[in-house]
Amino acid sequence: MKILMVLTSHDKLGNTGRKTGFWLEEFAAPYFTFLDAGATVTVASPKGGQPPLDPVSDMREGQTELTRRFKQDPAAQAVLAKTLRLSDVNASDYDAVFYPGGHGPMWDLAEDPRSIALIEAFYSSGKPVAAVCHAPGVLHRVKFQGQPIVKGKRVTGFTNGEEAAVHLTNVVPFLVEDELKRLGGLYEKVADWASFVVTDERLVTGQNPASSKAGAEALLKLLSRDALTPARFIDRFEQVDGVHSGFRRNHAKGLGVSGFFESNGNGVRLSKAAVFEPGRVPVIGRFSLDGGQPYQPDRPNTRRGLGLQFSLPNGELWRTAMISFPLFPVRTPEIFYERLLAFKQDPATGKPDPAQVKAFEERHPETVEVLKKITAEPQASGFGNTTFHGLNAFLFTNAAGKTTPVRWILKPMHPFEAAGAAPPDKNYLFDELITQIHRQPLRWRLIVIVGKPGGGRWHVDARSSRGGGTQRRHGYHLRPADVASGYGAFGRSGAPRSFASLCAIVNPAHQRDETAERDHARGRKEGRIAMENQRSQFAVTDVALDHGRDGADHALYLRE
């Protein structure tokens, strides 16, 4: 593991006549954290050689165990004295880059084209980038895919309050907090001077000097083999369910449908997303059963899924994935990953290993709680009278710029009837769905549930506020609020608004000649393979709607 650290060469604190440079703790803490984890560390700076130390950081109050270690470590001091020149380093020689702060970087690194290009090279080649304290300021001219790298990402950095506390608000070229916000970063902070680190995709940012060790640890986590990557998640599905070529790794059994969405225009009050403008737009979708077994028999209590894609007149696509349960049973993607294996069926018994299940349940009593709630509710007899829940909370922004937290559900217009015992026909749910749709369109109302201040803890996926609430990605902030407490909010929150009805009719999908995008989830390797002949009613759905690749949008762990 090779890590590059980039320090400032700038030593003038604006026009104050005072000295600045890098902050000692922000170099020492990550440096030793990386070394202790077995990494090789290389240090560079714009001018090369000894970078200037901010004298304030060398005062008694700024000392920590790791700065003292630095003072007693001649080897570390020698590394610092001989930093490479920025123009001589190449992103391809390292696995990650870390930028310590101090005020110095605000003047040189923030504007240095070599530094900007270096960060862009790291990030765009899939490598993590970390910056702590003032160093998130060095990201302000860095672009990724044509946009500011911080745009739409959760980030932190030196707060306005911290800058005011050191009396440099009017000295620094810009305020880190304001600049990150101006660029469209989803800026977060905690109390001034408390340790706080945010990781979003491959970008790690830390708030202040106290966050530098935690920032280094977050970077190591991204580099560690234990990090949950898209490929690892996909491998786990295959480890548990086997490899079923051409099928989705989860929700493998499904049926493609098409229909339309008729908006009554009420949503415009809450959101400027085009989907809510009055009128009818075409929709494609897919009903599915949870689980990676494409031939699993339909059962009344298997979680049901519905994925929809709305094609809007302006060319935009609006997508949402929903499930039949009002709660997600796990708190984080990591726990989902763990649970998959714990519940792997033993081929001999057709059941999971009770010891594994017990151990999992002991580790995650919250999941047991949620599943208890879910299973206490009666399940609907078919797909057509199932309520589908979007689960995650999002921010809608209307034309006046007012932002509202919302969730949504699809509520069937067909009467609820509780499921009885499963009939022997293994495809009874899907067969019935087809029969019903051929008889008459099935209709749902899209109901938006408006969060009220104090109405419970929703964790809002702030990214969804882009584009007026257009849901471009969803479903991956599985925080505690999405589990039990989210349910409370769901029950209590304000008057549901009935927006529109959705009408679905079966698409004769299996008559199409389609190809499957089999490997979309594996690091975007776009292996197109011919779909096996899946005329047998359900499997065709994956590709019939050309929905396979983007259908994975909802899971952070499936794509960047």
Which residues in this chain contact ligand HEM in the complex, by CB under 6 A?
A: 233, 237, 248-251, 254, 286, 288, 305-307, 321-323, 328, 333, 336, 390-391, 475, 478, 547-548, 551-552, 554-555, 557-558
CB neighbours of residue 46 within 10 Å: 21
Q: How far is the CB of 184 from ligand HEM (least distance, A)?
A: 25
Nearer to ligand HEM among residue 213 and residue 549 (C-beta): 549
Distance CA 157, CA 132 (A): 6
Q: How far is the CB of 102 from ligand HEM (least distance, A)?
A: 38
Q: How far is the CB of 483 from ligand HEM (least distance, A)?
A: 11
Inter-residue long-range contacts of 32-36, CB under 8 Å, 24+ positions, other chains counted: 32/66, 32/69, 32/70, 32/76, 33/66, 33/213, 33/216, 33/217, 33/220, 34/3, 34/5, 34/98, 34/216, 34/220
* H or E element in which residue 130 lies: strand 129-132
Sign of the C-alpha dihedral computed for residues 533, 539, 545 and 547 taken in this order? negative
Would you give the DSSP letter of residue 420? -
Q: Both tokens of residue 279?
A: 């009128």
Q: How far is the CB of 306 from ligand HEM (least distance, A)?
A: 6
Distance CA 255, CA 537 (A): 8
Nearer to ligand HEM among residue 5 and residue 257 (C-beta): 257
Q: How far is the CB of 198 from ligand HEM (least distance, A)?
A: 19
Q: How far is the CB of 364 from ligand HEM (least distance, A)?
A: 14
Nearer to ligand HEM among residue 52 and residue 256 (C-beta): 256
- Give the up-direction half-sphere exposure of residue 166: CA atoms within 13 A in the CB hemisphere: 19
Distance CA 263, CA 269 (A): 13
Q: Provide CB contacts within 8 A for 394, sequence distance 6+.
A: 405, 406, 407, 460, 461, 464, 465, 469, 471, 474
Nearer to ligand HEM among residue 103 and residue 554 (C-beta): 554
Query: Are the C-beta atoms of 292 and 528 separated by less than 8 Å?
Result: no
Nearer to ligand HEM among residue 218 and residue 544 (C-beta): 544
In the complex, residue closest to ligand HEM by CB? 305
Q: Both tokens of residue 281?
A: 């737009």
Q: How far is the CB of 238 from ligand HEM (least distance, A)?
A: 10
Query: Are the C-beta atoms of 296 and 444 separated by less than 8 Å?
Result: no
Nearer to ligand HEM among residue 108 and residue 482 (C-beta): 482
Distance CA 216, CA 165 (A): 25
Q: How far is the CB of 425 from ligand HEM (least distance, A)?
A: 22
Q: How far is the CB of 441 from ligand HEM (least distance, A)?
A: 20
Sheet of 96-99, strand order? 84-85, 40-45, 2-6, 96-99, 129-132, 203-206, 197-200
Nearer to ligand HEM among residue 110 and residue 410 (C-beta): 410
The beta strands (E) that lie in 153-303 are given as 154-155, 186-187, 197-200, 203-206, 253-263, 279-289
* H or E element in which residue 543 lies: helix 541-544
Q: Which residue has the tokens 């369910």?
A: 241
- Annotated catalytic residues are 251
Distance CA 121, CA 11 (A): 27
Q: Both tokens of residue 229?
A: 């990557």
**Dihedral angle over CA of 287, 461, 396, 487, nearest 10:** 70
